[in-house]
């Protein structure tokens, strides 16, 4: 079966349309079908339409994503309540343990992203994974640190990611590999991204899943829920004929 590839974390500014289009052209050329450029605040209708237009121009299927940086649990709850039905993907940036725990167990959260390269400030442990396993959140790993770090820092980061992915696998938490880049020179082909996953202890099929079936399953699941005919998983409203 043909694989469709996705990069869900391209950190280009949606407002800079020229730079964005150039980056997405490379993404399309490299063989991606889906791409997400995250918003950090609720965008205007015009900003959303501009993003969709640029994606359509280069032949990319846009995935609407917002990255939340909540100040506290109350802020997270309010944001999820307001934004869940407006985006294909909701990611929570986890730089606080309590927020990370709350995000992991909330079924409205799709991705958990731990941006800190310092292992002491990354909170994906067995407790976090157990909470995520009871919800729908996946662990997102950005490869950019592997491209820009060297020496001890790179080795330490790689060791940390191997540990986190091993924990995720033990608790059946899906793993998503994204680029997390903001410069065109760092964009990599999807199979190159997958090959880096071998360094994380994944086999060939698992590695390809992290850039194809794993991210796409989240996107398609949420788009089904956003459909007006959706009632519950496996239950949809079907209209037949004309009652008159």
Query: Which tens digits make up the pLDDT trace of 211-232?
Result: 999 999 999 999 998 865 444 4
8 Å CB contact between 140 and 113: yes
pTM of the model: 0.90
Query: Which tens digits make up the pLDDT trace of 187-202?
Result: 999 999 999 888 899 9
pLDDT greater than 70 at residue 92: yes
Q: What is the mean pLDDT of residues 69-78?
A: 96
Per-residue confidence (pLDDT) for residue 229, from 0 to 100: 43
CATH number belonging to the domain at 5-236, selected among 3.20.20.140, 3.40.50.300, 3.30.450.20, 3.40.50.620 = 3.20.20.140
Average pLDDT value over all residues in the chain: 92
Instruction: Please report the DSSP string for 47-81 in residue order.
Output: HHHHHHHHHHHHT-EE--EEEE--SSHHHHHHHHH
Query: Which tens digits make up the pLDDT trace of 3-42?
Result: 999 999 999 999 899 999 999 999 999 999 999 999 999 9
Q: Which residue stretches of the chain are H helix?
A: 17-29, 45-58, 73-83, 97-105, 126-133, 144-148, 151-170, 190-197, 204-209, 213-226
Q: 132: part of which helix (H) or strand (E)?
A: helix 126-133
Domain definitions of the chain by residue range: 5-236
201 in the Ramachandran plot: left (φ > 0), alpha (ψ -120 to 50) or beta?
A: left
Structure tokens at 176: 């998503």
Q: What is the mean pLDDT of residues 197-209?
A: 92
pLDDT greater than 60 at residue 233: no
8 Å CB contact between 32 and 179: no
What band does 234 get if pLDDT is binned at 50, 70 and 90?
Answer: low
Nearest CA-CA partner of 178 in 71, 74, 63: 63
């Amino acid at each position: 079966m043909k694989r469709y590839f996705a990069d869900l974390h391209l950190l280009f500014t949606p407002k800079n349309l020229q730079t964005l289009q150039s980056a997405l052209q490379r993404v399309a050329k490299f063989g991606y079908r889906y791409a997400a450029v995250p918003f950090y605040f609720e965008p205007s209708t015009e900003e959303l339409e501009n993003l969709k237009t640029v994606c359509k121009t280069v032949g990319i299927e846009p995935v609407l994503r917002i990255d939340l940086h909540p100040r506290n649990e109350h802020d997270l709850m309010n944001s999820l309540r307001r934004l869940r039905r407006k985006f294909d993907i909701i990611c929570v940036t986890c730089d606080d343990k309590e927020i990370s725990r709350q995000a992991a167990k909330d079924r409205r959260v799709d991705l958990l992203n731990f941006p800190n390269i310092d292992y002491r400030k990354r909170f994906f442990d067995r407790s976090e994974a157990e909470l995520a396993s009871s919800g729908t959140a996946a662990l997102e790993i950005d490869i950019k640190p592997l491209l820009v770090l060297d020496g001890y820092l790179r080795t330490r980061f790689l060791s940390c990611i191997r540990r986190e992915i091993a924990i995720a696998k033990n608790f059946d938490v899906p793993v998503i590999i994204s680029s997390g880049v903001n410069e065109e020179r760092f964009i990599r082909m999807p199979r190159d991204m997958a090959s880096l996953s071998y360094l994380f202890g994944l086999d060939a099929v698992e590695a390809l899943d992290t850039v194809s079936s794993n991210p796409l399953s989240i996107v398609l699941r949420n788009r089904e829920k956003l459909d007006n005919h959706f009632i519950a998983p496996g239950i949809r409203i079907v209209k037949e004929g004309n009652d008159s």
